[in-house]
Amino acid sequence: MRSLKVVLTVWLACLSLTAVAWAQGGFSLTEGDRVVFYGDSITEQRLYTTYAETYVVTRFPQLNVCFVHSGVGGDRVTGGWAGPIDLRLTRDVFAYKPTVMTIMLGMNDGSYRAFDEKIFETYSTGFQHILDSLHKTLPDLRITLIQPSPFDDVTRAPSFEGGYNAVLVRYGQFLKELAQKENCGVADLNTSVVAALEKAKAADAATAQKIIADRVHPGASGHLLMAEALLRSWNAPATVTAVQIDATAGKAVRAENTAVADLKASDGLSWTQNDKSLPMPVDMKDVVMALTMRSSDFFEALDWQPLKVTGLKGQQYVLKIDGEEVGTFSAKQLEQGVNLAELPTPMVKQAWAVHDLTVKHNNLHAARWRELQVSLGPLSLPHAPQAIDAMDNVEADLVMLQRQAAQPKARRYELLAQ
């Protein structure tokens, strides 16, 4: 086994950043946390996990929290092709000394058939074994049990009476009870996605089928809803920033998680904002994503960045940020409030750059882990440890860039009468 010093390269790089810990609304993750996402192929997709990571990095840019994604396709509570469960836990969890861990297993464990008591017994005893091992080796570990994401029995007819998702819901109920018994957190990644599927199907049945195209592995939009459910179980705050300006009085009457300065009034308004966080990057030009967002509460629950302006005398206004036009609104719309997180603002573009680095560092880690450590590890190649060290160092460089890219910038706003 490689030295602890090498295994923790990325963690130490994260912790070397100069930062002040702060949390908003009792968010569950705290300064210095190390999170391992554990699961099967749905976790291996590195979508809900990278969305969750990007949320933490952009919403809390001064908070040092590091992430490792340890999902393996086909895995069950007993393990899979990458090794039996005890090897998986030793190599893919314990080695990173996490303070926080999420576990999502069940899609494969139910065997894609009607509920079977013996199959369920294997799942329940296997999950208990995982928790016993975690408690023994990492007694202070904070664990979130994830109730399995859905098998899509909504946009297509179930293949047997009752459908496979009903089996997963039953497994999820077991996890909810187990979490209470074992003093773990629990996140329901099934209910809200099913509700969105139902709403999306009613609006556009053909496009709704693309949310979980193969009925098992959600696409980006489904994973974004799953990330929302996980983050909400961690008490993630909804608000990015919230600003209200009284144009008549010429002052900001609300500035939450930001500072408004240099407010000027002429034919419209202009001001500078120094935000403390960034919105989530969401591709609303993608038709599947747009339908999913319209069928869910994602923006209200996790990506809320309202700008309200009252007392405007004109009828129509163009909003520019850093000279870029981001939208045209009526005075009534501005009085009611506009959610900037849904618009192509410079802040959203900055968040996309952060997410790109999130994906890059996790893809690099996956290649190192899967190809060098898992696939080639049994060969004991003499140069493999050096290659692993080098890849860990490159990943640490990417994480450093990610954290730098997540730091908010002062933005100049202009609201110009048309």
State the pTM of this model.
Answer: 0.93
Instruction: Supply 315's token pair.
Output: 């009828």
Secondary structure class of 214 (helix, strand, coil)? coil
Rounded to the nearest 10 degrees, the angle between the axes of helix 220-233 and helix 191-203 is 140
339 vs 319: CA distance, rounded Å = 12
Q: Which residues pair with 100 in a beta bridge?
A: 35, 142
Spell out the per-residue pLDDT of the chain, length 418, in tens.
Answer: 343 344 444 444 444 443 333 334 499 999 999 999 999 999 999 999 999 999 999 999 999 999 999 999 999 999 999 999 999 999 999 999 999 999 999 999 999 999 999 999 999 999 999 999 999 999 999 999 999 999 999 999 999 999 999 999 999 999 999 999 999 999 999 999 999 999 999 999 999 999 999 999 999 999 999 999 999 999 999 999 999 999 999 999 999 999 999 999 987 899 999 999 999 999 999 999 999 999 999 999 999 999 999 999 999 999 999 999 999 999 999 999 999 999 999 999 999 999 999 999 999 999 999 999 999 988 999 999 999 999 999 999 999 999 999 999 999 999 999 8
Output b/e per residue, 399-413; b: 16+ Cβ within 10 A: bbbbbebbebeebeb
Residue type, 232: R
Cβ neighbours around 134 below 10 Å, total: 21
Which fold does the domain 4-237 belong to in CATH? Rossmann fold (3.40.50)
Residue type, 376: L
Rounded to the nearest 10 degrees, the angle between the axes of helix 48-59 and helix 220-233 is 60
In a 10 Å sphere around its CB, with 0-12 CB exposed, 13-18 middle and 19+ buried, how is residue 120 labelled? middle
Please give the radius of gyration of the chain, using alpha carbons only, rounded to the nearest integer. 23
Instruction: Supply 55's token pair.
Output: 């949320």
Secondary structure class of 36 (helix, strand, coil)? strand
